[in-house]
Amino acid sequence: MFSEKFGVIAGKFDLYGDGDANEFSTGRGHTQFQNWSLNVPTPFLFLPASTVGVGAVNIPNERLNFTALLLSGTECTNSNCFEDLDNKGGVFLATGSYQYSINGLPGGVAGTTAYLFDADFTELDSIAFIPTEGLTTSTKDSTWIAGGSFWQYLWTKEQNEGPLNLTNREADLQGWGIFGRLTFADDSVNPWKTSVALGVGGRGIFDARPDDSFGIGYYYNDISEGRFLDKVYDGQGAEAFYNFSLTPSTRFTASVQYIDAAINDIDDAVVFSTRLNARF
């Protein structure tokens, strides 16, 4: 940081991280929702999970921040990234988030856009986590992804003007609210052209359990027509979780998911799961 408002960053990045800046739906499955589509927009799977780059950070005030990154298109989760930087293209990634307050109820919005350039999208194994079987390729050398999200408390036990900590992967206030996420992508390249997620979340809705948290969410992923040769269909699902605070440092979470099968000959699924997190 060269000042309180401007800094630069360089190194190896985890692009999926904990999801976008959202009070009720982030955490990468560790603290809130477990389903990917309720943490990070599905079209962003087209980005490398981990790669190297440089960037700049601008923080005009405590409620507003911007980040711009210039990254390699090389997927290097399991490597040092420098062995194959010359033929995977690049990624320009820009994000911004803003927090506000309405009558003492905090809320926030965030937006992210990605532009991939000089890439060979016929080499599908160069893109992270994309299933290549039955997926048609594209002769384009560039593509884009853009989306935004919001969260808003509708009730809190005590008024709080914010801003809140969106990096701790949990609801900060005793109360509840709503969240939503909408993302679009270039359907001539990206297997997912649109994704939507929405739901409710909060903490301490029972006075006797002020540190318990919960969430209920729904998602829908719109498949790009023809990209999967009619083998994969639009996907949707829902999840509900309840997080029990056993001690200040120990939490137990129970969740249930309904997943509508997006592939022929595969049944819909109901998934029950539990988590136990201990901080020390």
Residue 59 has, within 13 A of its CA and on its CB side, a CA count of 11
Q: What is the pTM of this model?
A: 0.87
Average pLDDT over residues 199-227: 90
State pLDDT tens for residues 83-97: 666 667 889 999 999
pLDDT at 145: 95
% of the chain residues with pLDDT over 70: 89
State pLDDT tens for residues 30-71: 889 999 899 888 888 888 888 899 999 999 999 999 999 999
Distance CA 79, CA 156 (A): 46
Name the nearest CA neighbour of 148 among 102, 95, 223, 201: 95
pLDDT at 84: 64
pLDDT at 129: 46
